[in-house]
Amino acid sequence: MTTALITGSTAGIGAAFARRLAGDGHNLVLVARDTKRLREQATELHDRHGIEAEVLTADLSTDGGIEAVEKRLARRRDPVDLLVNNAGFGNKGRYLEVPVADELTMLKVHCEAVLRLTSAATETMRERGRGGVVNVASVAAFLPRGTYGASKAWVVQFTQGAAKDLAGSGVRLMALCPGFVRTEFHERAGMGTDNIPKWMWLDPDKVVAAALADLARGRTLSIPDPRYKALMGVAKLAPRPLLSGVTSRTGRKYGPQ
């Protein structure tokens, strides 16, 4: 039986990955900051699906938290076969409205933690000749959206570059770029969502299903909905000043996933 490690597992896309992978018979390593929620989640998934669910409390905005997960990923005994780097958050406010300390914390979680955990996981995966990594980014990676969008753009570029370097090793890497997803993300960031059109919202379980299908196909980038694929196609052709105007009025305030 294979094992998947999911960061930010207790809510949103991370919880959807946990439900789907447990339902498919994978053992899990569940990573988040809230021990109580982790234990409740582990118990529920074990009782419902009969899988083993290990709890690892870690704050990925700290070196100690990242190191704890690195150590679990580096274990040769009971190895991790699939890593889902899902942990992340958003800051409310425009550039210079957000304290630099908060911006640096975002970069720690979105970039440094993703780099270090991906490296720890793929090193042992390459030795075994198999494994996969899903790094959760956002369609914000393709738009001029301040530190959040820049950090997610880094995730996409890093993931695709690492995937190219590891081609032929049996290790697959993919960046997942959803749009607006019904999760706790916006509530935690204190962001309103009333002005977001209903058609732009995605279901987290459907996002995960599309992501796993794309990973199985060997894709290095997954935009899990035809509507967002079309929007990103238009965004590539639109002038940057126009995109900047649109995101300054909407995206910076409401930010997708």
pLDDT at res. 239: 47
The secondary structure of residue 199, as a DSSP letter, is G
Chunked in runs of 10, what are the mean pLDDT values of the chain (257 residues)?
Answer: 95 96 98 98 98 98 98 96 96 92 98 98 98 96 89 98 98 95 56 61 92 98 86 61 44 44
Burial class (CB in 10 A: 0-12, 13-18, 19+), 62: middle
pLDDT at res. 145: 76
pLDDT at res. 144: 79
CATH number of domain containing 92: 3.40.50.720
Q: How far apart are CA 3 and CA 14, in angstroms?
A: 15
Q: Which of 95, 148, 228, 254 is catalytic?
A: 148
Closest CA to 67 of 127, 11, 119: 119
The domain of 113 spans: 3-254
Q: Supply the pTM of this predicted model.
A: 0.87
pLDDT at res. 188: 56
Contact between residue 176 and residue 222 where contact means Cβ atoms under 8 Å apart:
yes
To which H or E segment does residue 235 belong? helix 226-237
pLDDT at res. 250: 41
Number of domains composing the chain:
1
User: Is 254 marked active-site?
Assistant: no
Grouping H, G, I as helix, E, B as strand and the rest as coil, residue 116 is: helix
How many CA atoms are closer than 13 Å to the CA of 174, on its beta-carbon side? 26
Query: Tell me: the pLDDT tens digits for 190-232?
Result: 445 556 666 677 999 999 999 999 999 999 999 988 788 777 7
Both structure tokens of 54: 């290990």
